[in-house]
Structure 1
Amino acid sequence: MKTKAFIMATLVCSSFVFMSCDDDDDKFTPESIVTKAFDTKYPDAQRVSWENEAGYVKAEFYTGSYEAEAWFDPQGNWMLTETDLPYNALPQTVKNSFEASLYAKWKIDDVDMLERPDAGTIYVLDVENGEQDADLHYTEGGILIKEVTDGNGDNEHRPSVTPSAIKELISEMYPGATILEIDTETKGTEVDILHENIHKEVWMDTQNKWLYTEWEIRSSQVPDIVMTAFKASAYASYQIDDIHVIQKAEGLSYEFELEQGDRDITILFNEEGILVSPTH
């Protein structure tokens, strides 16, 4: 009996300790430099709660009827805000783009608006169709810049710091461009930008040195010399799926993604209209 009583007492005490820890987390208050920065940015915020996460301070709150999260660094610098939106609150340009896409009949699970300093606003639609799911990233203008399919995205949006080398390179190569998103991988970094209202993917190596830039164009935008070469090639009867411009230090090239029946092929022309490499 004494043993049972001791075990019960231990469990009760342990529960009390864990509850106390939870209470402490619930009562977390960041430094005043952070709360002042938050109050300045969101003076009408309601139901604010705070927590530490991944080295940042995160405020969960309501702005109007929308639930939001704002991330700050310990010095009070705003890093990211994620706002949960209803579909009807999206810009009309985004809705038009989605409703004209292949995903139009998919079920919309969630809509988030992502705002970052020195970056364009991004709208992320989490959609599903049976066991398939995708995250669709749109600009304010309705340009689809990224499709993350079948659980390949973690659905967790975190702050990121853009290296000064990347900022300087983008500013020098593409004056007036807006950085939309940055995705760092083991092989390098992909920077999505909006330049002259064109979505471009800028690729860097692991040292943030420029490798190449790629963007999609219509058939009517392909230089005559290149389109003439395509029509005279052995692939002229193939259906064109997509055409991309690839910009490298040595110049431009034009990549055609083609299909014919069950066969897919990618071919590449240089600026002079010379077929460089068909890739099966």
Structure 2
Amino acid sequence: MQYTGLDEFLTRGKAALANGPVALVFAEDEVELDTTLRHHQQLGFNTVVAFMPGHFGLPGDLVKTVHRVTFDTGEANALQRAVNAVNDAAPGTWLYYCYNAEYLFYPFCETRAVNEMLTFHTEERRDSMLAYVVDLYAGDLEQFPNAVSLDIAYLDKSGYYALARPDIANHNHPKERQLDFFGGLRWRYEEHVPAPRRKIDRIAFFKAKPGLRLNEDHTFSDEEYNTYACPWHNNLTASIASFRTAKALKRNPGSTFDIDTFRWHNSTPFEWHSRQLLDLGLMEPGQWF
């Protein structure tokens, strides 16, 4: 299932968007692209779409099961443009998006499929879900100079915090049920990260609807989509375990020589299990038991 571009996918492959949830994976490079796609297939997404340059390769099994869209992910606002186009083509469908070398976790994901989780979330009258992008990094940068290792992965067990999100249109008063979240490598190495990119919150799940628009900062044009909970109780949140920041810091000439290791006294091995993320407070089960 291959498409020459976004327009062809939205025309010839539109039927694949009718039965959600749909995972949209954007490949910035080929690092762990195959494991990213397989991880989301195993979570139970009905459709997995890979947006990737034409010269990137895929193993044979994924060629048969993934919708591959030839797409220049390096263009300015490429992800934003593609997500908004898919939103317009699939009203009412639950959509999720991420980059390669990013792995979704949600409460009890080892025993419950993603459509079960979204069914419950929908019953709570929620049309979006907040996710925290939790930075992963290789424990040994000499052995893994690109900072990516699934077998020896670490994360920060503390150092996360939230600030009120000011409403510019309302004299900078805090927005209701919205916060800006920080932590991980983007906090520890903030001198190398532009200020608009330091947040770790992302509205990763959303139900498509006409006119909805994804903003550059991973929020949406509908303010209710940007809330972490409904007015009456806490809701589910998810985590996206991501090597993306570590990769960028080691690839960037302005930061790579300043970093011999990402490990510090608050590093802990990543266990690849939702229980660890729940225990660290990096996602919330809400009322789902």
**Same fold at TM > 0.5:** no
Which entry has the higher C-alpha Rg, 1 or 2? 1
Higher RCO, 1 or 2 (CA under 8 Å, sep at least 6)?
A: 2
The TM-score normalised by the length of structure 2 is: 0.26
TM-score normalised according to structure 1 size: 0.27
